[in-house]
Amino acid sequence: MSDASTCPLSSLPSSSPSSPSSCLRAGRAADLAPGGRKLVFREGAEAILVMNIDGRFYALDNSCPHAGASIASGSCEGHSLSCPAHGLTFDVRSGQCTASPNLRIRTHDAQVTDGELIIRPNEP
């Protein structure tokens, strides 16, 4: 997210279920240490995996485009996240599969505003 005014903190829901198109509070940024990850659930939409890699936050759908498996428990080296089901690897910055230009996980904007981690889902 480039402009926090598009998602004022006072109007944001917590990570409890909310409408798929709204911005989401994902908790305090300080609570997700480097190397940490968490799931943010949305009503009627795919859960979002939020990761802290070296102090930078990344958010992407928690679903491998190959077969729909959860990627939340996949191993991560640098910016490469592996699907635990079949081993496909994705760049968390872009969602692009490193083995196939036709496979990509949707990424979402993540920003820290006033210490809160804010996710703006990018809808198809």
Using CA atoms, how far apart are residues 90 and 79, in angstroms rounded to an integer?
8
Selection from 17, 7, 20, 10 nearest residue 121 by Cα: 20
Using CA atoms, how far apart are residues 72 and 82, in angstroms rounded to an integer?
9
User: Mean pLDDT throughout 56-64?
Assistant: 97
Domain 4-73+107-120 part of CATH 1.20.1260.10: no
Q: What's the pLDDT tens digit per position in 30-57?
A: 999 999 999 999 888 889 999 999 999 9
Mean pLDDT of the chain: 86
Using CA atoms, how far apart are residues 22 and 121, in angstroms rounded to an integer?
7
Using CA atoms, how far apart are residues 31 and 108, in angstroms rounded to an integer?
20
Contact 36, 26 (CB under 8 A): no
